[in-house]
Amino acid sequence: MASIFGHGLVAYTTAKVIDSKTSTLLLLLAIGCAILPDIDVLAFKLGVPYVHPLGHRGFTHSILFAILWSGLLAFIFGKNRKQIFFIVLFLSTISHGVLDGMTTGGKGVGFFIPFQNSRYFFPWQVIKVSPIGIKQFFSEWGMQVIISELIYIAIPCSIILITLSIAKKKKEWT
């Protein structure tokens, strides 16, 4: 994974871009969706191998999982805004796999599980893979993760968010 901060920030930005009137509920759900796929690290504890469809970066990182999960959440929480909930939550969930596919380590992402068990990376593997434990996070390795996420996630997201808020203010003035 990228770090939970990187994943969360991408989801937050996605929600803001797509839905200018984003509610706190949708923002929180979006951030949760972007972090959730890594629940599959539990598979290691259960002895499921990395490359298994249910292993790390497997089914919970797939397109089908993102569709089913965001559909379920949109149905439960979306009320009269189910469609926008679905779009924001789908993009937030799948953004996790997309970021993972741009990291420097681990195995690729199983985007097409259960139809196809291959693992994929994008051609741009620029984000340092984040350590799973807290202790390792506050190490030299963690520092490199933070720097790479600043460059490739935090700065682009900030530029988008600042542009959005300027555009919004301009709209209010006119």
Interface residues with Zn ion (CB under 5 A) are: 1, 38, 100
- Residue 12 beta carbon to Zn ion: minimum distance, rounded to whole angstroms: 17
Nearer to Zn ion, 81 or 131 (CB): 131
Shortest Å, Cβ 15 to Zn ion: 19
Calpha distance 75→57 (Å, rounded)? 26
- The least distance separating Zn ion from the CB of residue 20, rounded to whole angstroms, comes to 29
* Minimum separation from the CB atom of position 147 to Zn ion (A): 20
Comparing CB distances to Zn ion, the nearer of 78 and 142 is 142
Nearest residue (beta carbon) to Zn ion: 1
Going from the C-alpha of 55 to that of each of 11, 19, 113, 119, the distances in angstroms are 23, 33, 11, 11
Least Å distance, CB 153 to Zn ion, is 14
Q: Any alpha helices (H) in 19-131, and if so which ranges?
A: 24-35, 42-45, 63-77, 82-100
Question: SS in 3 state form for 107-136?
Answer: CCECCCCCCCCCCECCCCCCECCCCCCHHH
| Of 100 and 149, CB closest to Zn ion | 100
CA distance 90 to 107: 23
Cβ atoms 104, 6 nearer than 8 A: no
Closer Cβ to Zn ion, 66 or 78, answer by number: 66
Measure the CA–CA gap between 18 and 84, rounded to whole angstroms.
8
Count of residues making up the chain: 174
Nearer to Zn ion, 55 or 78 (CB): 55
